[in-house]
Amino acid sequence: MEALMARLSAVEDVDIDDDGVFKYVLIKVSASNPVEEFSKVIVRGYSWAEYHADIYDAASQRIEPLGLDCECLGGGRIQHAPNNKRLKVYGYSMGFGKADHQITCDLLKTKYLNYNITWTDGGY
């Protein structure tokens, strides 16, 4: 059980680009043994990605070799303005559907402590 928890906790909760507007995905990462399952949700967002699936594929290729499972919970966009300390979460993924932006904001708040972080269901 400790080994599973260690692998799961080694996965960073938030990894997004430092500036700009980009696609993001919300991913459930889980570890299980025959008796128990442990999981957490992470957010990944990058401007290099043409599609939300590109982000999910890159993340799962790094995480699954650790013996963990990945499931995409949806996506959207993030507008990151570090000069104004603002993050805005909005939109959806054509392939994965809309992520729960409230969960995304809650995760972002753990890393970007002094930021104004908001979300909306509008926009693409």
Prediction pTM value: 0.94
For the stretch 35-41, contacts whose Cβ atoms lie closer than 8 Å and that sit 24 or more positions apart, written own/partner, are 36/1, 36/4, 38/4, 38/5, 38/8, 39/8, 40/8, 40/11, 40/13, 41/73, 41/103, 41/107
Active site (annotated) includes residue 101:
no
User: What is the predicted pLDDT for the residue at 32?
Assistant: 79
**CB neighbours of 115 closer than 8 A, spacing ≥ 6?**
85, 86, 87, 108, 109
> Domain map of the chain by residue range?
2-119
User: What is the predicted pLDDT for the residue at 102?
Assistant: 97
The single residue of 23, 44, 52, 88 carrying the catalytic annotation is 52
Confidence of residue 6 (pLDDT cuts 50, 70, 90): confident
Q: Express each pLDDT in 20-40 by its tens digit.
A: 999 999 999 998 776 778 899
Architecture in CATH of 2-119: 3-Layer(bba) Sandwich (3.50)
Residue 1 has pLDDT above 90, yes or no: no
Q: Dmax over Cα atoms in the chain, in whole Å?
A: 48
Query: Would you list the DSSP string of 30-48?
Result: EEE-SS-EEEEEEEEEETT
